[in-house]
Structure 1
Amino acid sequence: MDYERIDRALGRLGQPPQPLETKLSLVERDALLEKALWFPDRDLPTGELAEWATVLIKIGKEPAVMAAVAAVEAALNETSPERADVEFVERVLAELHIWLKSPKTMKDLQRLGDLWWSLTRNPPQTALTSLGDATVMAWLVAGYDPEGWGDPPEDSEQVRDWLEEAANNLTAVVDVFSLVQQAVEPERHELLVTSVRSAVGTWREMDSTLN
Structure 2
Amino acid sequence: MTKLEIIVASTRPNRIGPVIGQWALAQAKQHAGFDEAELVDLAEVNLPFMNEPHHPRLGRYVHQHTQEWSAKVAEADAFVFVMPEYNYGYNAELKNAIDYLHSEWHYKPVGLVSYGGVSAGTRAAQMIKQVVTTLKMTPVTEAVSIPFVHQFIDEKEGFRPNEVMIGSGKAMLDELARISAALLPLRRPEGV
**TM-score, with length taken from structure 2:** 0.29
* Higher helix proportion (structure 1 or 2): 1
- Rg comparison, structure with higher value: 1
Q: Which one scores higher on RCO, CA 8 angstroms, separation ≥ 6?
A: 1
**TM-score, with length taken from structure 1:** 0.27
